[in-house]
Amino acid sequence: MSGAVANGIPEPDGAGQAGADGPGMRPPTRRYDYVTDGQEIYRRSFAMIRERADLSGLPADLEVVATRLIHAAGDTDIVSRIAASPDVVEAAREALAGGAPIFTDSVMLASGITRRRLPGDNEIVCTLRDPRVPGLAAAWGTTRAAAAVSLWGPRLDGAVVAIGNAPTALFHLLEVVLDGGPRPAAIVGMPVGFVGSAESKEALAGHRLADGSQVPWITVHGHRGGSAMAASTVNALATASELA
């Protein structure tokens, strides 16, 4: 009969008392030659990125963001698709340092943001599972991801937004802002997919407010994107260190 349960997984009898080396808790036979030290894997990964990626066309303050995007995508060629307003790094870091919340369009993206990197004990908010969302989406004839954006309300003002899943969420966010709604401090717009993804990023890059200005933004043009890439961007914007 099994013993204690940890994280939903029954431990073999005695394992709780004996620790990782107790009965039934033996590692598998090492059959492959691979690096097992997490910090060494990170160090080597970013060293390889620096060796192989051409970052010469990017502003200096975007280099850390680019290396983390490459790491998340596993693709050095993605550099050519990165685009950003010139003030996005400064704007995002200032907002985060001041404790601004981070709004995301998916739970996965929210989970991918490394809290220890955040400088202002920033709250990470995803409203996709709010019980009001299905009704709003049905009434407005839009997706749940888009409807969830409207639940951010006045807290959106001065916040950092990361969109990594739904193009409709990015379109909806821009429509809220262009209607005179709350203005975020910075937008990470990296929805993934083939329907609306590339177009929503073009809309982000081309948007203009009534005064002719833009909300600071960063994107990866085309169909690529996703929660991992958007989260890695937020992590890079939170601190200037690649390995922190």
Active-site residue set: 71
What do you get for the CA distance between the two ends of the chain, in Å?
43
Q: Which residue has the tokens 């929805």?
A: 191
- Residue among 101, 84, 85, 125 nearest 221 (CA): 84
Q: Provide the angle, in degrees to the nearest 10, between the axes of the packed helices 197-206 and 167-178.
A: 30
The owner of tokens 């821009």 is: 174
